[in-house]
Amino acid sequence: MIEGLLISVIKIAVVLWAMLTIVAYAVLWERWLCAWIQDRLGPNRVGPRGVLQPLADGLKFIFKEDVIPRHVNRLYYMLAPMIAMSPALITVAVIPWGSALPIAGHPIKCVIADLNVGVLFVFAISSLGVYGIVLAGWASNSKYPFLGGIRSSAQMISYEVCLGLSVAPVFMQVGSLNLGRIVEYQASHGWLVVYPIQWVSAFVFMVSAFAETNRLPFDLPEAEQELVGGYHTEYSSMKFAMFFLGEYAAMFLASALMVTLFLGGWSLPLAPFNAPAKELWVGMAHIGIFIGKVLLLLFVFIWVRWTLPRFRYDQLMGLGWKVFVPLTLANVALSGTALALMEK
């Protein structure tokens, strides 16, 4: 009992620490990549080649003056950044970041909460993330944040539908909502992304994830050119940083989910890595493989951001409701039929 509790606490501490580190470095990674894509040098002053930049950024944010405008609703204004950050931190609990670590005889599962409804839990919590943005927009009591908040809520609700529907074929093929089991299925049967019936799912999931995390080409809630800074216009100092980190944490989570659902999680199609670990080093390697895949997807997120222009608002809604919703519905029906035929 005590032992299990202790292991959980250690797992939570390690995962949160690792996640926040990756999120902080995702910011640096983004700044580097955007600089390189634009033929610039990028941050290279703090520490060797600029690798300590996140520390400097964090220190700067903490010591900056925290301005609370007089016209805001103070309670909601304070609450919004906390809410924006927390869903990503909560949902990381069900992501299997490795198979198992066999320590002292018994294997320790590399997931904080091994829920049987893992995917549903993720969707339920991550859609709460919109409250942070809407509250920020509302509490700021000024027009640009308000418009950003409105846009964000409409966008997230629309794409939630596609996001939920796009993963239905995954459950139909695997037969489980448990993220750990989905990864184990992929380890033994091959990654889901190699099955043609999952291609549409993977594509729609990826695009919806961009919309859910408010990343370009769908970053309408904070469209700088139209809305100044969007929902975080009135925020400064560490409160702004919380929104910023929340966006990257959501991005990290979307990447982790994409890896778990379609790209085989911790598995590689090679002999010791395609089954749950029996030895410690394999378990460690699985964690490394998972993080590597997530970093690769983070690269894709950033790469797309610095390539594509922003969608117009009606195009965004049109894409969501007129293209993706019918497409995912058809995809559910078609892949369901295909799976039923294959089983016969």
Partner 1 sequence: MQVSRPQLSLWEKTYIPQIVRGLWLTLQHIPRRKFTRNYPEEKPPLYGLYRGVPTLVRDPEGRVKCVSCQLCEFVCPPKAIRVIPGFRNDAAPDAPVEKEPSDFIIDMTRCIYCGMCEEVCPEEAIFLKNVFSLCGYRREELRFHKEKLLELGGIHDDKIWKWKNK
Is residue 206 part of the contact set for partner 1 (CB under 8 A)? no
- Main-chain dihedrals φ then ψ at residue 100, nearest 5 degrees: -160, 155
We find the least distance from the C-beta atom of residue 40 to partner 1, in angstroms, to be 5
Nearest residue to 169 via CA among 196, 207, 190, 206: 196
Q: For 72, list phi and psi in degrees, rounded to 5.
A: -90, 160
DSSP state of 222: G
Measured from the CB atom, the residue of 35 and 275 that comes closer to partner 1 is 35
Asked if 28 interacts with partner 1 (CB under 8 A), we say no
Give the range of 33-41, 182-190, 262-270, 279-287 binding partner 1 by CB under 8 A: 33-41
Q: Is 314 in the site for partner 1 (CB under 8 A)?
A: no
Owner of token pair 């250690």:
10
Q: Which is nearer to partner 1, 3 or 39 (CB)?
A: 39
d(CA 199, CA 3) in angstroms, rounded, equals 43
Query: If binding is defined by CB under 8 A, does position 295 make contact with partner 1?
Result: no
Answer for which of 6, 10, 36, 269 binds partner 1 (CB under 8 A) is 36
**42 contacts 27 by C-beta, under 8 angstroms:** no
Q: Per CB under 8 A, does 306 bind partner 1?
A: yes
> Are the C-beta atoms of 107 and 101 separated by less than 8 Å?
yes
5 C-beta neighbours (distance < 10 Å), count: 9
307 is a site residue for partner 1 (CB under 8 A): yes
Q: Which stretch binds partner 1 (CB under 8 A): 16-24, 267-275, 302-310, 331-339?
A: 302-310
Per CB under 8 A, the segment of 40-48, 57-65, 151-159, 252-260 that binds partner 1 is 40-48
- The two structure tokens encoding residue 191: 């990654």
Q: Binding residue for partner 1 (CB under 8 A) from 40, 60, 143, 278?
A: 40
CB contact at 8 A, 137 and 143: no
Residue partners of 140: CB distance under 8 A and separation at least 6: 69, 72, 77, 146, 231, 233, 234, 235
Of the candidate spans 29-37, 82-90, 166-174, 228-236, the one that interacts with partner 1 by CB under 8 A turns out to be 29-37
Among 7, 12, 16, 37, binds partner 1 (CB under 8 A): 37
- Return the range that interacts with partner 1 (CB under 8 A); candidates 125-133, 220-228, 250-258, 301-309: 301-309
93: Cα within 13 Å, side-chain hemisphere: 20
State which of residues 308, 330, 333, 334 lies at the interface with partner 1 (CB under 8 A): 308
The closest alpha carbon to 123, from 243, 15, 253, 252, belongs to 253
Dihedral sign, Cα of residue 225, residue 230, residue 233, residue 235 = negative
User: Is residue 303 a contact residue for partner 1 (CB under 8 A)?
Assistant: yes
Nearer to partner 1, 268 or 317 (CB): 317
Q: Does position 44 bind partner 1 by CB under 8 A?
A: yes
Could you say whether residue 318 binds partner 1 (CB under 8 A)?
A: no
Burial class (CB in 10 A: 0-12, 13-18, 19+), 18: middle
Rank residues 27 and 282 by Cβ distance to partner 1 and give the closer one.
Answer: 27
Q: Choose one: 38-46, 84-92, 134-142, 168-176; the region binding partner 1 (CB under 8 A).
A: 38-46
The smaller minimum CB distance to partner 1, of residues 171 and 303, is found at: 303
Alpha carbon distance 95, 210 (integer Å): 19
Considering only residues 46, 79, 304, 325, which one is a binding residue for partner 1 as defined by CB under 8 A?
304
Which one of 41, 55, 59, 333 is in contact with partner 1 (CB under 8 A)? Answer: 41
CA distance 162 to 106: 40
| Residues within the interface to partner 1 (CB under 8 A) | 33, 36-41, 44, 303-304, 306-308
